[in-house]
Structure 1
Amino acid sequence: MNLPLFIARRYLFSKKSHNAINVISLISVGGIAIATMAMVCVLSVFNGFGGIVEGMFSAFDPDLKITARTGKVFDYHTPEFDRALRVEGIGMISESLEENALYKFEERQVPVLVKGVSEEFRLMTEMDKLMVDGKFRLSEDVVNYTTLGAGLAITLGVRAGFIHPIEIYAPKRDVNVNLANPSAAFTREEIQIGGVFSLNQPDTDDRMAIVPIHLARELFRYDNEVSSLDIKLEPDASAKRVKSAIEAVLGPDFLVEDRYEQQIESFRMLQIEKWVTFLILAFILLIAVFNVVGSLSMLIVEKMADIGSLKNMGADNHLIARIFLYEGWLIALSGIVIGIATGLILCLLQQHFGLLRLSNVPGAYIVDAYPVIVRFWDIVTVFVVVGLISLLTIVYPINNLKKRLKIADA
């Protein structure tokens, strides 16, 4: 039998002669439990928002994306690319060519980022999920279509199905502007409006327009060049393994990015916000844990007679210190367990019933209720951090007790 733990457990659950100690002990457990519960819920909510962002980008971004480290475009019709694109695990390849141009509709004109894509783009992405008006299409017979970001469509004042086409003005490469006739420095094309999509990302929604890649090459005077090669992997392929294999073939001149790396700024910002919030809650927890110090200190004062009895029965100072150390650990552990259990229950209720809502107006946001995703390692992190903070705080009154016992023995 572990005697110090047995006595500490009896002290924790026995009725104290001073009721204030009971109250402070309950407050200590409650404070730790609430802070722990808040950590679990906050981390899970940030995971939920991260899952939504990842889901939106996964519908638009390819599994892997190859770009040149220097320069805007490259020609991939080379022996190196032939070998790289035969790597096992690659299911489909789509060409992409991005350049700046000017869109003009009636009296409105807006600079846009034109993204020319091949027909494989339709099969590689889930554009149908992102469409808010019309449908995604590139060309039908001799008619070319453009798909606009939602913000860009609003700025131009257009919708899918408008009869009048949009005029595209693209600057001619390697051509000096003639001030007497500046329009000669631009290539002009007309294109119909196919649909409007939304990623809920201003950089994309306000600037991007998708067009057929053959039209983009005509506009910007390219032959076979691309800005990027988009790769869709086979269902059972490892993105990390395929990425490493392609990098080994292409060498340092080309950059191969997975979905996380393509949107690294968005994910990094979300992670920073998540862990900064976690640190703020950790400071709040530190304040709550100081209640344990008060509870232990008062308990030590109350149990001085018991300490004397234990010493008369042969208990040494180390055993007595361990009793109150275990007492503090039991208070902290009770709060941690209750907090984690309560946090998990609240997360489960939020997942199934959406108790906390972002808005009372349905459809005002991407999701109506706060999203929640519970991750095992977040729970482990909460348990370890709360446990360490509690342990380090409890050491203070225990050291004071050891000093008092040494003085009493002297």
Structure 2
Amino acid sequence: MKLSWFLSKRFRQSNHHSGLVGFLSKASTIGVMLGVSVLIVALSVVNGFEQQLVQRLLSVVAHVEYHAPEKPIKNWPSKIALLEQHQQIAAATPQIKLTAMVQFKGQLKAAQVEAILPSEYHKVSQLDNYVKGQAIASLQEHELILGKQIAKTLNAEVGDKITLLVADEQAEQPLAAPKRVTLTLVGLVDMGGPLDQSLALMHLAKAQQILGLTPDEVTDIRVSVLDVFSAHYIAMQAGRLLPDLVYVNSWYRSQGSLYQDIQMVRTIVYLVVFLIIAVASFNIVSSMVMEVKDKQADIAILKTMGARDSTIFSTFALQGIGYAMVGSLLGTFIGVVLAMNVPDLFQYWVSLSEHNPLDGVYFVNFLPTKLQWQDVLVTVAGTLSIATLATLYPAWRATKIDPAVVLGN
């Protein structure tokens, strides 16, 4: 093995000065380097989106909602106490959900209104971290909090009087005029995602007044669970505790497609980039075949001096693995450095182009990243495994060279 290491090193040094063989070996090394670095960066970005999904979006949207489709849920405090007895439920709060039109100075914008109990809302949502202006806990009956994009569309600012147009569900005529409620805008939701374009918050008591409900009647109960990825299972279990007829809705129905998209992208990234690495690794085959052809005389001389086939095989196998190892190490270094600086590089690019492609599209307006060392290890191990397989055939061909034929020519 020491002899194989020595010969592999000498052959590799001689290739630096050769033409086509040296170029092919460098090209295969660069291909492996690019594939490894791209895979590390891509997986880090996917991990970043998954982390932000849990930390930002799932800390704000409802994990579980129980909606009464016909009659309102009566005596909601007892129902909440019933739900909170479940071991996997962290907290539950009452709410009323309305679809309304927001009006300001002749401009109209549809919004999903959530009527909440401000003093209890922090138990099921961390939306207060993304509200500019008055805190949610201080929300009064005559006040309203809007998504930033809704306010921008209406050209409304904090302090303006906003009108809500709510359908009158108790009216006898189906096309009856909606109820009009005037509220003061006291805060803006600024998450940098779709919620900014649709969400509005108002006090629970005001919504009960609009709908003609008593203080102990609500249309929805919002629940926060301990394990967000088991939310639907927990929702079905806990829902059996309620005596009311309710629809069960978890975040999987409202935001689950986004989570599935992230997992699908992760799979596609693995597949596509590993195919790129495989192509780059099998470029080693062409460079090694050319090298075996170039070194026929050297191999013949080694064999006549008593070198075994195993020594010849190990020499060229180590040489091919060496190309892949150099490419993997360089790719790992570049990939780790880029992955740790992706958010800053993205912000710099946005500042130059003055256009953010993530603004208002996803739940974040920046490019998140999370470097996981197990991804790096899997990438390097997979690359070296593919490269090792790629070196077997050229190394085996080197052992089949006939010294008599080569030296005779």
CA positional deviation for 1:318: 5.4
Q: How much is the aligned-residue C-alpha RMSD, in angstroms?
A: 4.2
Q: Which stretch shows the higher mean deviation, 46-55 or 106-115?
A: 46-55
In structure 2, the CA distance between the partners of 1:208 and 1:92, relative to structure 1 (3 Å rule), is same
The one of 371, 374, 382 equivalent to 1:374 is 371
User: Alignment length, in residue pairs?
Assistant: 390
1:72 Cα deviation from its structure 2 partner: 8.3
Asked whether the 8 Å contact 2:64–2:231 carries over to 1, the reply is: no
Name whichever of 315-324 and 328-337 sits farther off: 315-324
CA deviation map 1:211-260 (0-9, x unaligned):
12233334345563433423275xxxx666898666545459875747x7
Give the direction of change, closer, same or farther, for the CA distance of 1:60–1:71 in structure 2 (3 Å limit).
Answer: same
Equivalent residue, structure 2, for 1:111: 110
1:387 pairs with one of 384, 389, 403: 384
Residues 332, 390 of structure 1: 8 Å contact kept: yes
* Superposition TM-score, scaled by structure 2 size: 0.76
Percent identity between the two aligned chains? 17
Alpha-carbon separation, structure 2, partners of 1:104 and 1:350: 40
Q: Partner amino acid for 1:118?
A: L
Paired position in structure 2 for 1:335: 327
Conservation of the 8 A alpha-carbon contact between 1:146 and 1:195: yes
Instruction: Establish whether residue 201 from structure 1 lines up as the match of residue 193 from structure 2.
Output: yes
Contact 2:282 2:390 in 1 (8 A): yes
Residues 399-410 of structure 1 mapped to structure 2, 5 A cutoff: 400-401=397-398
- Contact 1:160–1:194 (Cα < 8 Å) also in 2: yes
In structure 2, the gaps of 5 or more residues are none
| Structure 1 counterpart of 2:370, one-letter code | I
- Look up the equivalent residue of 1:104 and give its one-letter code: Q
Return the match for 2:351 from 328, 347, 360.
Answer: 360
What does residue 150 of structure 1 align with?
148
* DSSP-derived class of the 1:357 partner: helix
The superposition leaves residues 282-313 of structure 1 with CA deviations (integer Å, 9 ceiling, x where unpaired) of 44434433441232112212332343345446
Q: Specify the alignment match of 1:227 in structure 2.
A: 220
Query: Deviations 1:335-389 (Å, cap 9, x if unpaired)?
Result: 11221123223434557x7597233379976899854321123213322442344
The secondary structure found in structure 2 opposite 1:25 is helix
Task: Measure, in 1, the Cα distance between the counterparts of 2:70 and 2:297.
Answer: 81
Partner SS state of residue 19, structure 1: coil
The TM-score with structure 1 as length reference comes to 0.75
Q: Distance in 2 between matches of 1:358 and 1:31?
A: 26
For 1:172, what is the secondary structure of its paired residue? coil
Query: How much has 1:199 moved relative to structure 2?
Result: 2.6
Give the 5 Å matches for 1:316-335.
317=309, 320-335=312-327
> Within 1, Cα distance between the matches of 2:155 and 2:213?
30
Query: What is the CA deviation profile of residues 102-124 of structure 1, one whole-angstrom value per residue up to 9, with x for unaligned ones?
Result: 33334233332211222211454
CA–CA separation in structure 2 for the residues paired with 1:296 and 1:340: 23
**Cα distance in 2, alignment partners of residues 116 and 78 from structure 1:** 16
1:215 to 206, 211, 219: 206
- For the Cα contact (< 8 Å) 1:84–1:246, is it kept in 2? no
| Alpha-carbon distance between aligned partners in 2 of 1:189 and 1:368, rounded to the nearest angstrom | 33
Alignment match, 1:25 = 25
Change (3 A) 1:106 1:356: closer
- Give the aligned partner of residue 170 of structure 1: 167
Matches within 5 A, 1:278-357: 279-312=271-304, 317=309, 320-348=312-340, 357=348
Partner residue of 1:159?
157
- Inter-partner Cα distance in structure 1 for 2:352 and 2:53: 21
Q: 1:264 to 1:24 in 2, by over 3 A?
A: same
